[in-house]
Structure formats: C-alpha cells, structure tokens
Chain A
Amino acid sequence: MTTRRLLVSRGTCCVSAGADRVAEALEAELGKIGLREVPVKRVGCPGFSQIDPVVIVEPEGLLYAGVRPEDAPELARSLTPGGQPVDRLFYRHDGQAVPRFADIPYYRRQERILLKNCGAVNPESIEDYLEVGGYAALRKALTGLTPAEVVEEVKRSGLRGLGGAGFATGRKWESCLRAQGEHKFVICNGDEGDPGAFVDRSLLEGDPHSVIEGMAIAGHAVGARTGYIYVRAEYPLAVRRLRIAIEQARESGFLGDSVLGTGFAFNIHLFQGAGAFVCGESTALTQSIEGYRGMPRPLPRPRTTEAGLHASPTVLNNVKTFAAVRWIINEGAAWFAARGTARSKGTALFSLTGKVANCGLIEVPMGMTLREVVCDIGGGVPGGKPIKAIQTGGPSGGCLPASLLDTPVDFDTLVAIGSMMGSGGMVVMDEDTCMVDIARYFMEFCKKESCGQCSLCRLGTVQMLSTLTAITEGRGTDRDIDLLLELSEAVAGGSICGLGQSAPNPVLSTIRYFREEYEAHIHERTCPARVCKALISYYISPERCVGCGLCSKECPVDAIRGERRQVHVIDQDRCTRCGVCVNACPERFAAVERLPGRAPAGR
C-alpha cells in the first residue's frame, strides 16, 4: 500500500553526515527528471549511525548507505521507469550487497518497537504520526479507561523505568495517583548525559509525538494537568522537534485545556537543562525546573511521587519509558509483557559504540545476551580482533569481561555482575583498551560532574581520580588498590545520590575483572594494553628500519638518532611517547613498534 517515496534520515548524526544536502539534491534531481511528485520525506534516524546518512526507497524498502549529494542524480534516475538500483550504494555485509533495509543483519536481530517510527515518520509532521496510529492510545485511555485502569494496565505490563534504575513504572504511577495534591506534575527526563549515550536524543528527534502521547496518558493516569520535558540544551534538534510537536499536538487537541474534547486538561512545557549531568537525577532535575541549582536532595525525603516538583506529587520517567506507554495501551499489557525476561519486560535500547563494527542505536528484547548484541548485531570488533570488555551504563556502570558475554541483558543481571543498564550506553572495548585508563576516564567524568554538595562524592572522586592517574602514570603504590576499594566503598555507601553512589562502579568492576592489569601498572610499571604513555615505549625494529629518516624528522623532541640509511634508535630518556614516529614510518616498513613497559633508559 505504501506509495513510492524516498526517506532521508535526519537525526543529528545524519545531519552532520550531510543528510540535508542529500535531501535537497534528491529533490532537485527528481524535479529535473520529471519525478517531482515523488516525495522526499525527512525522517528520524533509523539508528544505524555507522552508515549515515541513509536513503530508503519505498515501497521496495531499499536502503542506500552513506549517500552523498553527488549520488543524487544516479539515485533519482534509478526511480525512472526501467531504472536500475544503485548497487554501489547498498550496504555491504561481508562484501555482499544487502539491498533491503529489513535484510541487514544489524536490523534483523533487533525488535524495534519504541524505535519503530524512527526512520519511518517525519518527526516534524503530526500527520505522519497519526498515519501510523499515533494518539490512538491517548484516545483509548481518555475515552475508555479510568486512571486506575491505565495504572493497572501499566502495572501488568511489567514496564520498568528505562532511564536505568528500573523502578516499576506502574507502581510509581499508582503512588502518584494516590497522593493528595492540588497540583500534580508529569516530568519527562530527557537529560541524557552519559558519555556515549544517544538513545533519548534519537527518540526525541525521531519520534517526539510518542513521548508526548505517553506523557499525556500518564497525566490522565495520575491526575496531572501539567507536564515538563526536561531536555538537554545540547540537543538543539530535539528541542526544535519537541517544540514543533508540542505545538502541533496542541493545535490538534491532543494537548490543551480539554484534550480531545474530554475536559481533561494537559499541557506540556519544555525546559532546557544547562548541561549538568547530575540534573538527570530526579530530585536535582525538579530543583532545576524550580529555578534552583540542580542538586539532589538527600534521603530521607518524601518520594517524588508524593512531593516532587513544587512539593507536589510528580511522576518522573525517562523518555523511553513514556515512549513505551502507547504500545501498552494500544496492544495490551500482555502483548508487552510477552517480551523480555521474567522480571524485565519489553525491550532494551542501547547506543552501541566503541570498538564495534556496527555503531548505532539498537532495540532488543530484554534478556538477549551480550554476545548476541555485540557480535550478531554489532558485528564484533572490526578486523575480527577479540573483545576485551563491554562497558554498559556509562559512568555509573561497569566494565564486563569477555568471559561474561553470554550474560543476558536485563536490569537485575547486569547489577548482579557489577554493572547496570543505565541510560543505555554500551561501549565495546578490545585488547587496545587499558582498563585502568578507562576507569580513570569515567572517574574524571564523575569528578567533573559531581554537584559538589556531599563531601564523599566531591572529594572521594578527586582522590580516586588522583590515585588512578598515579597508577596510569607509573606512580602507583602497593596500597593504591586497597585505597581505591576502601574509597569506593565509602563513596558508594555514603553519597547522596546515584551519581556518587555509582561513581565507583567503573573502578570496582575493573578491579574485579581486570585486577592483573592494575597490578601490571603498579608492580611491573607496564601497561599491557599499551595505552598509558608513562608505561609504554616506542622501539624501532632494526630488522625493518631502512634509515629513511622520516621518523627523526617528525619527532618533536629530537629523540631519534641515526645516520641516513642506517638503523635509527629512539633515545628513551628524551622520548615523550607521543607516537608521531609510528605514523611517520611508512606503512611498508612499519618499523616503529609500541611496546608495553618502559624500555631501559638510553635505548
């Protein structure tokens, strides 16, 4: 039934890859060859960031990857009667062209429910959303279900908060429904701050109406009249599309003082975060909306569902959680609960990055193993290198070793092995990744992003970072691992909020699974992954060096000596281990090697 049209992906990733110019070029070309009636539809990112920007040709479902504006004439011509598909632009898997979107292995193993509209509808068009059944769930909830029935349905679905903590959404709503308050609020947490995570951004950019619909249903369920979407100001495209979507929803009667004429009033305000990671924490987020500095409120305190924003009962859920709601209302709790594991229902969304062949946004049923996610969907490490670790959950999560690749991905299992779902970051690491350095990196992030309020988080992260830095710089001491464990325990046990409580996770998990790497740094003064500059050396292989002198010319500190056509030698005292020589050495010689450990001085 779908007519001929072109879909051009326009997420932030796609736009930065030139999607806008591709779309314009396509329109121009189609006009030139008399196919002006073929629409070029701008859609959200379908998630396979690696191959952006993509153009999908409907109804055939052909996918062209990495399209550039200059490909437009050829693409346009392929649509003329008798035109041939552009083979060179098809996605290739193991060297084989995969013309159809649905056949790409990256997508085949996914179950795209929340992401279904991403890459299929124009996020700036409410008509598009309505065409795929948008706002039917809101209509159903408002006209057919009491608030208690909505809450019950969400409870039965088993939906858990997809922001990372995994609190049962239905129970949260029920608590808010029962709470007394003149005003109640629904807040959507779109303050996605984990380095490497972009799930919420993609959803807000690609399918903003599903989030708005979920919030309105939540408003009905708990008795709130006002909603806030807290979105990072660093997501300008998401902000823009949300603005458009909210306005369209209001004009079409899905928001406003009488939603769908039912008398139910629900309005949504957009609130832009100012770039503080900690504002993703619920109580910091509400303070931020109230105009205060975003800082978490210590326990004991009332629940947000009882006294949240402006001390009023508040439901606060993540973007993904709200996006799931319409599916539960439309398809039923049982349909939703059929996916996933016994305690984690539905699907999980990840932004898959790092040393992985297929980077991008994925959605899989809860309970899929890490191996399936990373190897089958992600395609493993490029070049077939072995996987060393998987980091999930961003700075709050942990690094899991390859030996745990068969672990199913769900809320509870990940926590049990020292990591967490978090906001959906999943970073694949290979043998060239130093785990101490990774722990240091995340600690640096937490140190910077600590709100500074509680002493343990503010100062504990500084101390841990200094200790980790000392280790990576070859100044580690025997007691450092114990000190890290001790500080980790105190910071995790004594900090006010999730940021501090989980900040030690990367340290704890790397010590737990990669302790020998710490010990190598400390006792052997070597970095096995050859990352930590102070613990590696560069060495010119006498067998391969031809004495071309390129390395010595490039060396910024004149550390390389050698006569022309003679074997060159690096002065290890002078060498700063910048690595310029590796790149300077012509590939055909590849004489400069990076070795773990410091070479004896003078060599």
Chain B
Amino acid sequence: MTMVSLTIDGSPVQVPQKTTILEAALANGMYIPHLCHHPDLKPAGICRVCMVEVGGQLLVSCRAAVAPGMQVKTTSPAVDKVRRAAVELLVADHDADCLACAKADSCKLLEVSRYIGIDPGRYEMLRAHRLRKEVDESHPFIRRDYNKCVLCGICVRTCDEVQGVAAIDFAFRGYATRVAAVGDRPLQESVCESCGECVVRCPTGALLPIGFEKPAREVSTVCPYCGTGCGLILGTRGGKIVSARGVPDHTTSQGRLCVKGRFGWSFVNHPERLTTPLVRKDGRLVESSWDEALDLITDRFARYRARQAGVFGSPKTTNEEIYLTSKFARVVMGTNNVAQVAHLCHANTVRGLIPVTGSGAMTVPIWQIKDAACHLVIGCNPTEAHPIVGLEVRQAVRRGTKLIIANPYEIDLCRLPHLRLPLRPGTDVALLMGMAKVILEEGLLDREFIAERTTNFEAYAESLRGFSLEEAAAITGVSAELIREAARLYATTKPALIFWSMGITQHSHGHDNVWALAHLAMMTGNYGKPGAGVAPLRGHNNVQGATDLGITPPWYPGYQFCPGYELFPRYDKFKSSKEKFEKGWGYELPDFPGLSTVKQFHPKAKGWGPQEMWDLERQIKLWYIIGADLVNAVAQSEGVKQALQQAEFVVVQDIFLTDTAREADVVLPAACFAEKDGTFTATDRRVQLVRKAVEPPGEARPDWQIICEIARRLGYRGFDFASPAAVMDEIASLVPAYAGVSHARLQGEELRWPVASAEHPGTPVLHVGEFIRLGKAEFWPLAYTPSPELPDADYPLVMTTGRDLHHFHHVMTRRVEGLNDLCPEDYVELHAQDAAALGIADGDQVKVSSRRASLLTRARVSERPVPGVVFKPIHFGEKPTNALTSAEHIDAVGTTPNTKVCPVRVEKVQATA
C-alpha cells in the first residue's frame, strides 16, 4: 500500500493513497466537523461543514483525496466563515429540544455545534424565520421528523448504496426540499423494505423508531427469524425488550437487519404469550400447575411409546434443545418417529444431497456470496424470505456478478440486471437437464474436476442423451435460446453459486430438482472453492441445526444413521450408527423406521419407501409437539387437525396458543429465543451463541428444561444438565461435525461446521480437496417427472406458495402490530391477463378452490406471476393456504408434499352487503 505523507494543522500524518482528507484526520484522532459523511457510504460533500483550507483554497475534506506534501488547515478565517454560517443556518433551522431528543447522545449536529460554539444572539436572530413541518408517523416503525432533518442525504444514500432499494430521494426544491418516497406518498406505499437502515444511520433525531426507548442493557444474540443468522443486539429495560439493532462487526449481516429482525421483536412482550401450562378439562383448555400437567404427561407418555408415539422438534429452538428432542424421542419414547417442519421444506436438499455430495448444507459462508461471479437464483426469493442474503446478491450484482433468475414469479431481484427464465412451476428438472445438455454438448464441462473429484458421470450423461433442448423448452415454457444462454453464462462465469429454496424442494420430485442443481455445479467444477457451490437457503433460524442434530427419522444427531435409513434411495452405501448411540446414550434404541412429518399425519401419502408403505394405517396415538404449528404448516391441513383430534394424547409446547395447540390435551408454555441461552446454526453452517436477554413470562420455561424434566420424571438418566453449555459438550462428544464446538469458543470465534476438534478452526468452505463423507461426489441419472396433480378445466390455474417480506410464518410476526400493518391480510396474486379473463380486478373478493377445499380471499393483480400461475402467501391461518394443498404425493427422499404445484380455480365473489 502506497502511503502519503501530509500535514494536518502542522502535524505530520501518513495515510494510504486515496484516503480522503477527512478520513486521514479522523484516523489520526483529529476532528474535522462533518455531518453528511458516513463511513459506510460514498462521500457526498453536501453539508459544507467539513471544509478545510489547502494552499489558500477551500476544499471539501470528505471528497478531496490526500496528496503528498499537502498542508491541510482544518481551521482558518476563510474556513470558519463558511463553516460557521453552514452550522448556524442548520442549527437555526433545527428543533432545539435536545433534552427531549432520543438522539441527543449521538447527535452529529450537536457535535458540530459544540465545536463551532453557538452565539445565542445570532442564533435567535436567524431562528425567527422558521417554518414548522409536520412529523410523519404514517409508517408503523419509522418516525420522520423533518424539523430535525439536516438533509445530509445519509438516508438516501443508505437506501441506495447499502440496501440497493433507492426508495427515497430528495424531493421538492429550495427550502421545501425534503427526503421523500416516490410521489411524496407514505414510505410503505413505495418500494421501501422498512429495513430501518436509514434510521440507524440518521445523524440527528429526524429518523427514529416509533416509540423509541433507550435500553438499559443490551444483549448480543441471533435473529429468530430466517436461517441467515444475522447478529442481533436486543435492548432491554425493566425486564422487557425495548429495542433491537444489528451487530456492527458481524461478518454475515454487518450490522444490517431486515424489517422482521429490526422491528419484529415485540411478539416477545405480547400479552397472548403462554404463561402457565394448560390442561384440557371438559373439552376446554384451562390453566394448571406444572405438576398437574407433568403428572398427566408422564402417565400418558409411559403408555403410548414406540410406533404409537410421534415427537416433533422445532427449528425455532436451540441446537441443545433439538439434540435433547432427538435423544428424548429415541431414548424416552423409544421411537424414530421424530420429525419437524423441515420435512415440508429442505428435507429434499438435506437428504437428497447426502448420497451426491455428502452434505446438503450451503458450501460457502454468506460473506462469500459477493465473491461469486455468477448467481443462479432458482425457486427462491431471497429479498423477501432471506433479506440479508438478498442484499448480498444485490451488492454482488452491482459489482458485476452475473445473475440468472429462474422463477415463475417475477421476484424483486428482477429489478437488477439479470437473465430470467420464467419457467412453469414444477418443470425445474426439465430446465436444468436442458442447461446440462447445453453444457455437455458445447463442451463447457470442467473435465478435470469431473475426472478427479466425481464418479458415475457417464450414467448421468447417458440420462441426458435422450433429452433435447426443444423438449426442455416445450415443458418449461422457456425458449431454447434462453436456456442455452443461461447454460453458457452459468458454465463460463466462475465461481458460480446456486441459490434455491422452497420452489425447488416443495415438490413430490423435489430431490430430482436438487440432484439436477448439484450436478450442474459438479459438472462445471463449482465445488470446494470460495464463492462456489450451492446455497440452499434454510427457512428457520435454526433449521440447519435441526437437521444437523437429528430431529428426523433416518439419523441421530450428526447425520449418523439409524434404522430406516436404508429406505432412502442411494443410501445403501452408508452404515448404521445405532450401536454408537446406544453406547453413548446408555439405552437400547428403536430398530424400526420412523415416519416423517407428512407420513405421521397422512399415512396414505404415496411416494416414499417400498410400495407397501404407501398405504399405511395411522399408528400414532400420542404426539409431543414442540414449537410447530403443524395445523397450518402441513399440506392438506384438515387431515392434520383430524389426526390430532383423534389422537389419544397430544402435548404442544409453544410460546403462543397456536392453531395446533388448540387441539392439544396439554399445552406447555415455552421460553422464546430471547429468554434462554443456547446456539443456533445458520444456513451457512455458522454456529452462534444465543443469549438470554429477559426472563420468560409467567411460568414459561425453556424447552430444554421441560424436555429434561419430563425425561427425569419418567425415570431416565442422561437428562441432567446444568446449562445449555453442558448439553453442547455432550453434542460435541457424539457429533463429529460439532466436536470442536463449545459455548466458550463461540464467545469469541466464528465457527462453521465441521469443527473437528477443539483446535480446529471450522470450515468456511465445504468440500475443499474432497467431498465430506463421500470423498468423491457421485452423479446420478436424471429423468423429468411431471407434477402429480396438473391443471385441468375445473382447476385451470397453478397455485404456488411463498412468503411476504413482512411475515415469517403464522405465529410470531402475526403478533407484531407494525408488521401486520405493513402486510395486513391474505391475498392471491394473479397475472393481469388471467385476472382480465376471469373478470377480476385488483382488490376483488375471490374464492380460491382446489380439489380439497375452498376459501375466500382478496385478489392482487400484477404481472409478476407468469400467466397461468397464482401466488398465495402462507402467513394467514385464517385463510389457510395448506387447506388447499395436497399431501397425497410425497417425495421419495425428502417426503415433502407437492405444495408448489397446486391446481386451483379462482372466481370472483360478489360482495355481500
């Protein structure tokens, strides 16, 4: 680095070339007053406060670069005249209620005023001409007080440069200038994502969170929503959470948060939180003591075990709790019927990739997204479902990363330069085989990688032989030309990273989709390098940990197989770890295959296991459901409700009385993420500490304590832990990938599994040198299978489902008032062409019917879904999307139902008076 020597006010300093004068001064402990400068942003030079004098000339120090021998005067008569006037004018135009201002302790205007020294006489003279402007509180989270705005433009530049949204800009002219969204309409009517990054950087009290309270204490933890794993600092006061902000130096989130992370914490304080156990008496759930509830539970749990019991763990809980859930199910309940909502989600990825690349986890850290030269974003909408990942994609594309988007829905990333493949839902395999065919035929393969690091390529290539690009075009609805272009772009722009999520996995052929994607990466050598590989974006905060630590039938914690794993295709090369865990846990473990989520409730679901298992009778009589609103989550939800009602005994352990809890015999009040210690594993395998910020409400208890208490009451050993840290130590002893993980290390270290030992630094990039578990990746033949349920004359449209930015599922965000203001109600989104044909206008009441159910909702008309496709969000239990979907067919590997291709009919409903 070339250093430049200069003097500032006579003091010699040395700074790297291209440093600005202001940065040089600040870095050397010299203050130059400034307002519009922010270290995260490009210099603006508009506040005119940071002027300095160099060689008799006034220079804007935040824009001017240093030069060798430069002699900078931070103050001089010429500088002071301009600076004093600028500051005085700003102060005179500013509300001087510093005592009442929440930003007073960090206000930049106050800082420069103190430096200048304000002459009260002049100040009063100038003040005479002020106009009051109205405070804007129209946004549920962001308060905009123009009387305190200094028009530094930091919010405008943040929205553009950091967030890549540019929802706000300067509006109007002259003294009327103010920052506004398009058309000076309320923020929420613009493209604003309500992330609050502008609020964070505002140097004055102009932008504040609505109802801001300064916290008395802050606790660093992890966001409880999606799997990105953003660092979250919760502020508390009087035992309540009052604020949230990002962890500034967090490598994943870099201080950023999305609207849910920043503003979605108030559910913790919600009055509807469960505070005591509830026991069903005379058909009603009534409050009870812990003893009464636990006595009942121990009695029934002893009665219905093994094949009669089903245990649901929660990807919202900590790794420690997930591990204990798995152990509890197998040891205490004697069953492998241990399931979770990941079986509705990425099970195809996780289980599907084990025999292909050895692991279904993201191959690189999130911070390496920017290092990829090409992004293939297929079947996911990161901006809404994983907003910080979405930001990383945006930033990368702005820096030149090529973007390919395959989605039947025009996702927000389509606002960036991109190549779009608007395929029909469920035709991904055909699309990807088409791309593979081009790569193969045009010799764009990485032959060396295929030869050295993979096997069975010939079988795969053979499966492509009979498939033509024209067929791909006919099936997907995407032109052969576009498929070819996408294939070339992907194969020749390296490193390339593939993002996917539910659009890929929620199919009864989801694992084929996943294989096809992994194969694309394998054939182009996109594994084992920074920025390369696959990024299956995991939904829940700890769903990665939930799959890692064995709340799934085929494996114990650490992807170590238990009886039943042999029912999965291509798993025959693996061995069972039953003996290891019997030894480790000290009990004999069940030897029958367990059932995944759908199969527990819909035993006649077809597709998984040998044919005779496609038509089972329901055997489960008892369910212990931790943190899962299955009634809303599982396809064909009416069947779930019925199964729960028909069960002998159902325990639901949750933070709210969910639709599922309403069907329970006993409801146990659990602590939420902010009320306990533990760890979450993010989608990029990063294991992070979750820290307790507040006490659980009432008698609510952390899940780990409840699980252990029940086990102890039933007389089992191995459930005595002093703390979650002790649980992690047991995990480390049994799970090789977590062998080096401990709470102590996580205090200061950034660890991504596998962490082989206490000394091992973790594994940022997976599969370097060799594929984990397998050594060599293995290709498998591909074939396109159409979705089992297709549109016909009665159900002519295809419904696909997904998330809205402002909500997560149905439980937490729906109890955050502001998020409900931003996204208050359910809708079904139709392409304008279809809407016109059906005589439906935006906002109309419509009836959506599938072969299973009908419901009323509101139409949203746009051009975002491809014609023939409608989109419905999953957040509104009162309009249960999964009442419409089918659980008839499930994937042979992931056992996921086919929720992304659901033929429906949409009809206009005349409003009744």
Contacts and interface: CB of A to CB of B under 8 A. Distances in A.
Contact of A494 (B48, B64, B150, B153): B48
Interface stretch (B86-94, B421-429, B724-732): B86-94
Question: Which of B63, B64, B81, B175 counts the most chain A CB atoms within 10 A?
Answer: B175
B85 A456 contact: yes
B45 interface: yes
B89 A459 contact: yes
B172 interface: yes
Interface string A336-356: 000000000000000000000
A453 interface: yes
Given A463-B89, A494-B85, A495-B48, A458 B60 contact: no
Interface in A235-280: 276, 278
Contact of B47 (A299, A455, A486): A455
A148 interface: no
B89 A460 contact: yes
Given A455-B48, A458-B151, A494-B48, A486 B85 contact: yes
Contacts, number: 114
B46 interface: yes
A496 interface: yes
B150 A455 contact: yes
A450 interface: yes
A63 to B, nearest CB: 43
A295 interface: yes
Contacts of B151: 452-453, 455, 458
Contacts of A299: 45, 60, 63
Q: By DSSP majority rule, is chain B's interface helix, strand, loop, or mixed?
A: mixed
Interface in B445-459: none
Contacts of A447: 174-175
A480 to B, nearest CB: 10
A559 B240 CA distance: 69
A465 to B, nearest CB: 8
B89 A494 contact: no
A494 B177 contact: no
A462 B64 contact: no
Given A451-B177, A453-B170, A458-B177, A298 B44 contact: yes
Nearest to A452: B177
Nearest to A299: B60
A454 B47 contact: yes
Given A298-B45, A298-B46, A458 B174 contact: yes
Interface string B147-163: 00011010000000000
A214 to B, nearest CB: 31
A494 B172 contact: no
Nearest to A489: B81
A494 B81 CA distance: 9
Given A447-B174, A450-B173, A451-B177, A490 B47 contact: no
Contact of B170 (A293, A489, A494): A293
A461 interface: yes
A278 B173 CA distance: 10
Contacts of B83: 494
A293 B179 CA distance: 12
Contact of B46 (A449, A453, A489): A453
Given A293-B169, A454-B48, A300 B85 contact: no
Interface string B46-65: 11110100000011100111
Interface string A447-484: 11111111110111111001000000000000100010
A491 B48 CA distance: 10
B790 interface: no
Contact of B89 (A448, A455, A496): A455
A456 B86 CA distance: 5
Interface string A289-320: 00001010011110000000000000000000
B82 interface: yes
Contacts of B47: 454-455
Contacts of B63: 298-301
Question: Which of A299, A452, A479 counts the most chain B CB atoms within 10 A?
Answer: A452
A456 B173 contact: no
B114 interface: no
Contacts of A455: 46-49, 86, 89-90, 150-151
A125 to B, nearest CB: 39
Contacts of B125: 479, 483
Contact of A300 (B49, B60, B92): B60
Contacts of A452: 151, 170, 172-178
A328 B581 CA distance: 94
Interface in B65-115: 65, 78, 81-86, 89-90, 92-93
Contacts of A486: 81, 85
A195 interface: no
A490 B81 CA distance: 6
A454 B150 CA distance: 10
B185 interface: no
Contacts of A466: 128-129
Q: By DSSP majority rule, is chain A's interface helix, strand, loop, or mixed?
A: helix
Question: Which of B65, B125, B173, B178 counts the most chain A CB atoms within 10 A?
Answer: B173
Given A300-B59, A454-B47, A466-B129, A490 B174 contact: no
A218 B866 CA distance: 48
A454 B48 CA distance: 7
A298 B45 CA distance: 6
A460 B623 CA distance: 72
Contacts of A298: 44-46, 60, 63
A487 interface: yes
Interface string B16-51: 000000000000000000000000000011111101
A493 B174 contact: no
Interface in B118-138: 125-126, 128-129
Nearest to A277: B173
Interface string A501-540: 0000000000000000000000000000000000000000
A462 B128 CA distance: 11
Contacts of A450: 173-175, 177
Contacts of A491: 85
B90 A459 contact: yes
A495 B89 CA distance: 13
A466 B177 CA distance: 17
Question: Which of B78, B83, B173, B174 counts the most chain A CB atoms within 10 A?
Answer: B174
Interface string B166-207: 000110111111100000000000000000000000000000
B85 A462 contact: no
B287 to A, nearest CB: 59
Contacts of A461: 174-175
Contacts of A278: 173
Contact of B129 (A454, A463, A483): A463
Given A451-B177, A454-B47, A496-B45, A295 B170 contact: yes
B126 A463 contact: yes
Contacts of A487: 85
B80 to A, nearest CB: 10
B912 to A, nearest CB: 47
B175 A462 contact: yes
A461 B44 CA distance: 21
Contacts of A293: 169-170
B109 to A, nearest CB: 11
Interface of B: 44-49, 51, 58-60, 63-65, 78, 81-86, 89-90, 92-93, 125-126, 128-129, 150-151, 153, 169-170, 172-178
23 contacts: A298-B46, A300-B59, A301-B63, A447-B174, A450-B173, A450-B174, A452-B178, A453-B46, A455-B150, A456-B85, A456-B89, A459-B89, A459-B93, A461-B174, A462-B93, A462-B174, A463-B89, A479-B125, A489-B81, A494-B48, A494-B58, A494-B83, A496-B48
Given A300-B64, A489-B81, 14 more contacts: A276-B173, A278-B173, A293-B170, A298-B60, A299-B60, A299-B63, A451-B170, A452-B178, A453-B177, A454-B46, A459-B89, A463-B129, A490-B86, A493-B82
